[in-house]
Amino acid sequence: MRPSSVEQRSNALTPRVGALGIDYPKGHSTGWHWHERGQLVYARSGVMTVTTRAGAFVVPPLRAVWMPPGVEHEVRCATPLSMRTLYIAPAPRNALPSACCVINVSPLLRELILAAVEAPGPLHRGRLIAGLLLAEMSTAASAPLHLPEPEDPRLRRVTATLRAEPGDRRTLAEIASEAGASSRTLARLFLAETGMTFGQWQRQLRLLAALVRLAQREPVTTIALDLGYDSPSAFIHAFRRALGTTPRRYFEPGA
């Protein structure tokens, strides 16, 4: 597959680093595509889900997803999205992740991304911005916002059911008949193919679904009950345990 045509419209900071700014409506999908350069995808506003063949990454405000070169992916917009993207060619000295991940965007990194896209200025300024971008990205902490996707078709039937209804309270044994395998087989495959137990995978699914809805400012109580938690306090506890802060504070700078 050829690289996406949107890359050809990017601003050139240096021969290795380019930038693109584009706005999408709610519900938009880019379709499956890939790039010859690595890509950092950041939302100036809005929430998106970046899906690769290995799983999905939810990207709320103040986070960005990094994809190495050649990773086939699709971007779906959960809200109206103001997307800002960097394209970075491989280089031996790059201290950038070798696998897809979500990173926390510091205030400095945010301003550098926006400057790269919206006001790169003269060539020498673009080079300075690019250098600072690479330095800041190399030290950015990762965020646990990945949901791995299994390959086994029986597991995919289970994950498709749960993605359609993250608040489904059924146990794996109760879902197993729809997948055409025993709960014991499915439990073994979940761990082997995703690195998670069924319960861990389901909790991660609910967490990512909650992030999308929190970003749309839905009430915590509604989200908690819709997603299968016994109470809002149970949801807040699970959220804090996974992400180190409360749902309300997660979207604040520095969270």
The DSSP bridge partners found for residue 45 are: 82
More confident residue, 255 or 184: 184
Distance from C-alpha of 225 to C-alpha of 203, rounded to nearest angstrom: 14
Pairing mode, if any, of strands 38-45 and 101-104? unpaired
Question: What per-residue confidence (pLDDT) applies to 180?
Answer: 87
Q: Say if residue 132's pLDDT is above 80.
A: yes
Question: What per-residue confidence (pLDDT) applies to 10?
Answer: 59
20-46 average pLDDT score: 92
Pairing mode, if any, of strands 146-148 and 38-45? unpaired
Q: How confident is the model at residue 179 (pLDDT cuts 50, 70, 90)?
A: confident
Question: What per-residue confidence (pLDDT) applies to 92?
Answer: 63
- For the stretch 57-111, pLDDT in tens is 998 888 999 999 999 999 999 888 899 999 999 876 667 888 999 999 999 999 9
Name the CATH topology of 5-143: Jelly Rolls (2.60.120)
Q: Domain ranges in the chain?
A: 5-143, 150-250
Distance from C-alpha of 19 to C-alpha of 199, rounded to nearest angstrom: 39
pTM, 2 dp: 0.81
Q: How confident is the model at residue 233 (pLDDT cuts 50, 70, 90)?
A: very high
Q: If residue 84 lies in a helix (H) or strand (E), which one and from where to where? A: strand 81-88
135-139 average pLDDT score: 91
Q: What is the mean pLDDT of the chain?
A: 89
- Nearest in space to 98 (alpha carbons), one of 75, 61, 72, 70: 70
CATH classification code of 150-250: 1.10.10.60
